[in-house]
Amino acid sequence: MNTDLETIENYVNGQLNADERARFEAALRTDPALADALTFYMLSKHVAREEAHAVRKAELDVLRRQTVPAPPFWSAPMRWVAAASLVLLLGLGWYFFQSANGPANSELAVAQLTDAYVAQHFTNLSTDMDGGSSGSKALDSLKQGINLYNKGMLVEADVVFQDVLKRQPDLESALTYAGITSLRRGNYDQAITLFHRLSQRTDLVSNPGTFYEALALLKRGQPADKGQAERLLKKVVEKRLDGKKEATTLIETLK
């Protein structure tokens, strides 16, 4: 999809209409270059905010340190006016400093990055999977669940994946697909539990469980979730787990 910077900016700022937003998010799922462009845009905005933060803080520090002695001919009322003006200026500077760098902007950026990842990677499940030693019955059930999921029948797919987990609680594919289905359905508590169980598998060559658990925590958004998600994302980066690139971007945006 040939999408310019203005379209990406309008998407981030919520200025696309419903049809335009749907087309943009559909393109995100199939166009890695567009997803990278959105990620770069969000990270660039974060860096710009940090630089503006530093500049404003330096300017305010200089202003606070300035002491201008009142000329002898200044009357008491004039000194009060000058003092009030300085207080007002400092107050306005602090207000704009907070507005440009407040937590709401960071949280919005994180939410948009998380939604973009989910839209790109979790809209469809791949039918090319490693069944391992799961057995033909479990493999057939997983394929059935995937087909249901890809048709948008998330409730039915969830039933199939959960049934597989009852028989094989530690099956990697079932934990992954059931967790993703729970995440898409907004059942974040269950998604977090399933992804955590997946992350405990130490015998896997590739394991996205820790990164997916962090995504589910960010989506749930309870008071302690942001801190826990950040700790998991740092673990992903430090141990070079699946999702390292995306985790790095999210950590920068969480600051």
Map out the domains of the chain as residue ranges.
5-102, 118-254
Instruction: Say whether pLDDT at 199 is over 80.
Output: yes
Taking only the tens place, the pLDDT of each residue in 70-128 is 455 445 555 544 444 444 444 444 333 444 445 556 788 888 889 889 988 998 998 76
Distance CA(210)–CA(196), nearest Å, equals 7
Share of the chain above pLDDT 70, in %: 71
Query: How far apart (Å, rounded) are the C-alpha atoms in residues 213 and 228?
Result: 10
Q: What is the mean pLDDT of the chain?
A: 79
Average pLDDT rounded to a whole number, residues 201-206: 91
So what's the pLDDT on residue 222?
A: 93
Q: How far is CA 252 from CA 47, 50, 164, in A?
A: 8, 10, 38
Establish how many alpha carbons lie within 13 A of residue 79's alpha carbon, considering only the half-sphere containing its beta carbon.
Answer: 10
pLDDT of residue 212: 98
118-254 falls under which CATH superfamily? Tetratricopeptide repeat domain (1.25.40.10)
pLDDT band at 178 (very low <50, low <70, confident <90, very high): very high
